[in-house]
Amino acid sequence: MAREIRLKERPQGHLKADNFEVAEVSLPPLGEGDILVRNIWMSVDPYMRLVLTGQEGFVPQKQPGDVMDGAAIGIVERSSDPALPAGTAVASAYGWRTHFVAKADTLSILPNSDAPLNWYLSALGLTGITAFLGIEKVLQPRQGETVLISGASGAVGSIACQLAKLRGARVLATCSSEQKARWLRDKVGVDATMDYRQEQLDDFIAREAPEGLDCYFDNVGGEMLDRTLNCMKAYGRIGLCGAISQYESRDYRSGPANFFAAIEKSLTMRGFNAFLLTPEENAEAVNWLAGRADRDEIIIFEKIFQGLEQAPVAFAGLFGGGYEGKVVIKL
């Protein structure tokens, strides 16, 4: 028997742990090419909220009774494919389950390295790859430039801050509490922080970057993006990573009201999505990040929840103030 987390009912307004339920299921016998995997780590990410809106978008919507998909790390327990023997560590997108049966070509064998397996859900997984894309490929901040990163205490934001610092940029960060602001300054190493519940962005930028921003790494969207457009220098660059402030809104796909500022200032705005990378691009990002992690140039921050049943609790918490660093579930 296996256990899995299913959508019980579509959220109406704010996401709640009660929107999900645990179910027990029987696993099918292994057929030709089938692999039985026992998950040991699962990921919880803000983008998962987008499949629960009832609004069609880039990914199909979940229906009540569907299992929540997402990144997971597991160990092969039984195999009918000699390329994936028992004991092999694999990554998958099969999400919130204790066990599952899948074809070998839907699994990725993890490298034989000294890196903890859970890192392949954080700095060496989708989280780190997304930060790498935004900083190294899209914004490419130069020595001495000023970069603003919103949602900076989250999984992607905290790594993006570190990558921008590695390039010699001055990093400004926004977050939702003074506790997170201290953490960003003391642990992550950003230059200045703003608790958006206590200070206006215009005042913060006037004080910390009176000449304006060269780059903006946007994890938040909404009003934060609107206000930041006014704070950019001419020819500034904006990387559009996410819009977590909009994910629980009925019109989450709406764009910035202040879009004309991008024309006035000749801004470059580019969205990026790690799911669209080719295998070669993905490998490039992971190898680059692994090198930085091996040299302790990237510090990996995680919030670990214990047990499958904690996944809905951890997920709901992302939209109620969030956590410092990457949220993972240990099974």
Q: 84-104: per-residue pLDDT in tens?
A: 999 999 999 999 999 999 999
Buried b (16+ CB within 10 A) or exposed e, 227-264: bbbebbbeebbbbbbbbbbbbeeeebeeebeeeebbee
Alpha-helical (H) ranges within 148-253 are: 155-166, 178-183, 201-208, 222-231
Predicted confidence (pLDDT) per residue in 136-162, tens digit? 999 999 999 999 999 999 999 999 999
pLDDT for 255:
86
Q: How confident is the model at residue 13 (pLDDT cuts 50, 70, 90)?
A: confident
Residue 134: C-alpha distances to residues 119, 176, 191, 230, 284 (Å): 19, 22, 19, 21, 14
In the predicted model, what is the mean pLDDT of residues 164-188? 97
Asked if residue 163 lies in contact with residue 132, where contact means CB atoms within 8 angstroms, the answer is: yes
Give me the mean pLDDT over the 285-312 stretch: 96
Separation CA 16–CA 2 (nearest Å): 24
Percentage of residues in the chain having pLDDT higher than 70: 100
Task: Give dist(CA 301, CA 296) in Å, integer.
Answer: 13
Query: Average pLDDT in the 280-293 region?
Result: 95
The mean predicted confidence, pLDDT, of the chain is 95
Q: Which band of pLDDT confidence, cut at 50, 70 and 90, is reported for residue 60?
A: confident
Residues composing the chain: 331
* Torsion on CA atoms 269, 50, 12, 223, rounded to nearest 10: -10
Hey, which residues does 36 pair with through a beta bridge?
Answer: 78, 101
Q: How many CB atoms lie within 10 A of CB 88?
A: 20
Query: Do the Cβ atoms of 18 and 11 come closer than 8 Å?
Result: no
Q: What is the mean pLDDT of residues 45-52?
A: 92
Task: Confirm whether pTM is higher than 0.85.
Answer: yes
CATH superfamily, domain at 126-275: NAD(P)-binding Rossmann-like Domain (3.40.50.720)
Output the pLDDT for position 216: 99
What average pLDDT score do residues 210-239 get? Answer: 98
Rounded (5°) CA angle 32-120-326: 130
CB 307, CB 329: distance < 8 Å: yes
* pLDDT score of 112: 86
Give me the pLDDT at residue 253, please: 79
pLDDT tier at 320, thresholds 50, 70, 90: confident
Domain 2-121+302-330 fold is Quinone Oxidoreductase; Chain A, domain 1 (3.90.180)
Q: Identify which of 71, 173, 134, 121 has the alpha carbon closest to the alpha carbon of residue 301.
A: 121
Decide if pLDDT at 214 tops 90. Answer: yes
Distances (CA, A) of 180 to 169, 188, 241, 244: 21, 10, 20, 17
Indicate the domain borders of the chain.
Answer: 2-121+302-330, 126-275
Tens-place pLDDT, residues 191-200: 999 999 999 9
